[in-house]
Chain A
Amino acid sequence: MIDLIFNSGTLAMADALLQGGLQGLIVSLVLVLFTLIGLNFSKKFSEANEEFINANPTTISNKIILQISGVILFLAVTVFWIASFASVPDVAEYLGWFAVIQSVLTTVFVAALLYAIVAIYFQPDRANLKEDKSSSVAEDMIGLSSFALKIPLVLSSFISTALMTLGAFYLIVAFVQNALMSIDSNGEFFYFEASGANVLTGVSYFLSGAFAPFIFYLLFLIFFPVYNYLLAILHIPKIGK
């Protein structure tokens, strides 16, 4: 239901934006204003996210599980970009050269981004997950399961900028497509079916990037206390020893 409302809202917003003229200008001004507000929030929350990570250390008895997870994720990312490049001939045949350039640039960027995120699995210290030989199995479990929550927090500014860059790229592509179609009004040389989808994707990434650190903060705040309670229970037998 929420998904339906969100999708309808986003579609309605993109529809209003692409009407052009005064209506389109007003919608775009509102979106820019939202982005700037999001960035203001995010700047403040980025510092709070760093403090959260420093204040919530977790332990693991051996880092090998993270290293193996990193290798598996590395291989998955490699399969992703190889599969994307393998589909380039089909994209060229059905969607044209413009879509090929867009697809290749997006794939390279996203692959580099995913490799960068996988790097945290090889350097868990960045997420304040320390190796401690005295860590119990339960503490290991908490350390591992909370790691997924810590990654977005550690990389909040990084992911935010990445999403905004990707969003700006999609908006440039959509603008170029629309500008070319406006010039060639008969649709003789330029007709891009996906320009609406590019606007929608670009706006979604751009706004998500602007609010990302704030959203990651909230997610951590809601879900991490569960691990704090579990760690507190595990520390009870150690009191007084």
Chain B
Amino acid sequence: METVLNKINSAIDYGISLMEALCSFCLDKLTLLFKHAFAWSVVIGAIMLLLLGLIGDPYGFDYY
């Protein structure tokens, strides 16, 4: 029975190490992506703001 429990523990530990690996992967890849995306986000966001300001909302502003 102890062997079974040990195996379950090992499986859970493996699951935790997978979680850790996935989180690190997300952090590394997103950091890399954001390095390239930062300038694009600023420029696109600014252009969209200007365009939205120009055309406005055809049906008038409604938050809901």
Contacts and interface: CB of A to CB of B under 8 A. Distances in A.
Nearest to A177: B57
Interface stretch (A31-39, A135-143, A215-223): A31-39
Given A18-B57, A20-B56, A35 B26 contact: no
A32 B49 contact: yes
Given A158-B30, A193-B64, A195-B57, A178 B52 contact: yes
A172 B50 CA distance: 11
Contact of B41 (A157, A161, A187): A161
A128 to B, nearest CB: 17
A18 B23 contact: no
A178 B57 contact: yes
A168 B41 contact: yes
Interface string B5-45: 00000000000100110111011001100100110011011
Most chain A beta carbons < 10 A, residue from B31, B57, B64: B57
Q: Taking chain B's interface residues, is the majority helix, strand, or loop, or is none over half, making it mixed?
A: helix
B48 A202 contact: yes
Contact of A29 (B37, B44, B53, B58): B53
Contact of B23 (A28, A119, A157, A185): A119
A39 B60 CA distance: 31
Interface of A: 11, 14-15, 17-21, 24-29, 31-32, 35, 39, 67, 70-71, 74, 112-113, 115-123, 157-158, 161-162, 164-165, 167-168, 171-172, 174-175, 178-179, 181-182, 185, 187, 191, 193-197, 199-200, 202-203, 206, 209
Interface of B: 16, 19-20, 22-24, 26-27, 30-31, 34, 37-38, 41-42, 44-46, 48-64
17 contacts: A11-B63, A20-B54, A20-B55, A24-B56, A25-B54, A28-B49, A28-B50, A32-B50, A35-B42, A115-B22, A119-B26, A122-B20, A165-B41, A168-B45, A171-B49, A185-B58, A199-B61
